[in-house]
Amino acid sequence: MAEHNRIEPPVTATDNVNSPAHYGKGKIECIDYIEDFLTKEEYIGYLRGNIAKYLHRWRYKNKQEDLLKAQWYLDRLVYMDGKDTA
């Protein structure tokens, strides 16, 4: 994925934003599996839905972690759109 000029959160032993332990149990990451079996438009909807979910709940649930998760999904959407225009 493309590098971005933004401040990265400190890396901790458990990174629930970039690499949740429960999503890496198989041979491929869950997000890669989802992208593989959905159509492009379905995958865009999946990304947009997760962005909306985390932006909606950040004040009430996980605060900055939810904002970072929303940003993570937005970064994937931006990257995906960039692949189509490159």
Q: Is the pTM of this model over 0.75?
A: no
Q: Under DSSP, is residue 47 helix (H, G, I), strand (E, B) or coil? A: helix
Q: What is the pLDDT of residues 6-57, one digit of tens each?
A: 555 555 567 776 766 665 566 788 899 999 999 999 999 999 999 999 999 9
Kindly calculate the radius of gyration of the chain based on its CA atoms and give it in whole angstroms: 14
> So what's the pLDDT on residue 6?
59
Of 1-5, 22-26, 44-48, 82-86, which one has max mean pLDDT?
Answer: 44-48
Number of H helices, E strands in the chain: 3, 0
In the chain, domain spans = 27-85
